[in-house]
Structure 1
Amino acid sequence: MNSIDSDFSGSIPEVYDSHLVPILFEGYAADLAGRVAKADPTAVLEVAAGSGVVPRALASRLSGGCRYVVSDINPAMLECARQRSSEDRLEWREANAMSLPFEDESFDIVLCQFGVMFFPDHIKGFSEILRVLRPGGRFIFNSWGPLETNDFAHIALETLIALYPEDPPLFLARTPYGYGETARIEADLAVAGFKRIRIETVELQSHAGSADDFAFGQTYGSPLRLEIEARGNPPLPQVRAALEKALVARFGMAQITGRMTALVTEAIAS
């Protein structure tokens, strides 16, 4: 993974939350929240929580006595999540998934919404999560399915390759959509020590008020921005316009709808 791939700094968290979260993440956050709430946990840890879309969907569904720790390695994203939360009960912790600052067997659920793809070492991260889970506890997470089954992102990558044929920005393929193989996920979890693993493909639709809503969100609200800016030409506004044009050509001028797929994984700590 490129060093900039986890750099959510500056204005990126704000644009990410205002544009990408409604288009890509809210539906899957509701799905994860339902799975966690159904288990009626007493202690929940969320890793790589980003701007906090899952806490907004989940916190009110947990029992009053449930401990819910929301963590992220990026202080700007964690602060964005904290500012958007109306729940006083949440604990906010800056934490690296490679070395979690929690005692062994502290939680009965660890969850992660589209964050495992950013782990520099999946097996090490999964091993840390297993360590903090109680016996019988669950690790519940999602990761994007293959890029070609996620319409908006696939068009974005094709557009970037056309704009930069000699050195395309490959952030999307490399990281967010780079961990979409069931066999690889199962193998990494097994090596980390998880025994019972179930992976389900969940297909949803992404909706954007306009093609530019997604074009702006993707180019200004993710580390892709840094990769584009490092190349210099064409500049960021031109890339945004090109992506908008490609989406309009496929989906039209008004509200646009595309397919999304994610792998939702549940693994049990033995």
Structure 2
Amino acid sequence: MVTASATFSGPQYYNDCLGPVWFDSFAADLVQRLPERPADNVLEIACGTGLVTRRLRERLKPSVRLVATDLSKAMLDYARAKLEACRNIEWREADALKLPFENGEFGAVVCGFGMMFMPDRQAALKEARRVLTEAGILLFNVWDRIEENPHALANAKVLEAMFPGDPEMKFRTPYDMGDPGLLRQLLAGAGFHATRIETKRIAIAGADPRSIATGQIRGTPRATLIEQRGFQLEAVIDKVTDGLTITGGDPYSGQAQAVIVQAMAI
């Protein structure tokens, strides 16, 4: 997963197909939970196409330093170009497990839908703690259970049928980090006190199921993995579209649910 993520080249599909359906709404919800005046430096981990980045820059005072990082150069380049008009954003290609920053350099660390993809989640949280000041803020969201996200469950069923027993094609993995007990355990082990953990549900209405399917396949590192296995992406997208239509109709209606975590460095 790390290698695929680092070479991933489908940011526009991710941004254009999935952003308007749910990611932008979750980004707005996440950022509004950050105090308007945190310490001088704010770090974003796994910034992706810049959906959270843009809202952070809008919320923070111009004097607050904002550093946006991602492991994927393709994602980072896309976000930088998309937000070219936004001033006061530093862009850095960086591995969240080996952040190129000093101890205690930031007053807040923010991550939108990235923590569940870390190959070592505990290590990623420890690294976030390392670069935070004492009493610094950690704010991130992850997907809730796949059963609470019918769009993902429909996708998972298709991929599991097409690639039985293939661990790299296990679409359920990003949906296994939303348990509050697990999150509190991970946070405590990394030097955090969880101040708030809650769920956030958004309604999806009037969406194009094929556009969602395209984003889920072409907009994720699985596009490369599927092609490596000799399958045509459009054939897979056809099957996912059918699954989404059965689940939520055409236009697609349903829900997406995430877990939002607010924690303090101790």
Displacement of 1:186: 1.2
Tell whether the 8 Å contact from 2:108 to 2:132 is kept in structure 1 after alignment: yes
Displacement of 1:66: 0.7
Q: Does 1:252 align with 2:244?
A: no
From the superposition, tell whether residues 158 and 265 of structure 1 become closer, same or farther in structure 2 (CA, over 3 Å): same
Q: Which amino acid aligns with 2:239?
A: A
Structure 2 residues without counterparts, runs of 5 or longer: none
Displacement of 1:103: 1.2
Candidates 67, 70, 73, aligned match of 1:69: 67
Candidates 217, 235, 259, aligned match of 1:263: 259
- 3-state SS of 1:36 partner: coil
| Structure-2 residue corresponding to 1:47 | 45
Candidates 198, 201, 221, aligned match of 1:223: 221
1:192-216 CA-to-partner distances (Å, cap 9, x unmatched) read 1113442111111234631111011
From the superposition, tell whether residues 68 and 184 of structure 1 become closer, same or farther in structure 2 (CA, over 3 Å): same
| Structure-2 residue corresponding to 1:177 | 175
| Structure-2 residue corresponding to 1:30 | 28
- 3-state SS of 2:192 partner: coil
Displacement of 1:181: 2.0
**Separation in 2, partners of 1:77, 1:39:** 28
**Separation in 2, partners of 1:72, 1:135:** 24
**Separation in 1, partners of 2:189, 2:195:** 12
TM-score, structure 1 normalization: 0.91
From the superposition, tell whether residues 178 and 51 of structure 1 become closer, same or farther in structure 2 (CA, over 3 Å): same
Q: Which amino acid aligns with 1:252?
A: G
From the superposition, tell whether residues 171 and 5 of structure 1 become closer, same or farther in structure 2 (CA, over 3 Å): farther
The correspondence of residues 1-270 of structure 1 with structure 2, limited to 5 A, is 2-10=1-9, 12-38=10-36, 40-85=38-83, 86-165=85-164, 167=166, 170-174=169-173, 176-207=174-205, 209-233=207-231, 235-254=232-251, 256-270=252-266
1:44-90 CA-to-partner distances (Å, cap 9, x unmatched) read 10011111100122212211211111111111111111111121211
Displacement of 1:185: 1.6
Displacement of 1:110: 0.4
Pairs aligned (count): 265
Tell whether the 8 Å contact from 2:107 to 2:132 is kept in structure 1 after alignment: yes
**Separation in 1, partners of 2:189, 2:61:** 33
Displacement of 1:168: 7.8
Q: Which range is displaced more, 198-207 or 86-95?
A: 198-207
1:6-44 CA-to-partner distances (Å, cap 9, x unmatched) read 24523x112111112222311110011101244544321
**Separation in 1, partners of 2:55, 2:38:** 15
TM-score, structure 2 normalization: 0.92
Say what the alpha-carbon RMSD is for the aligned residues. Answer: 1.9
Tell whether the 8 Å contact from 1:171 to 1:223 is kept in structure 2 after alignment: no
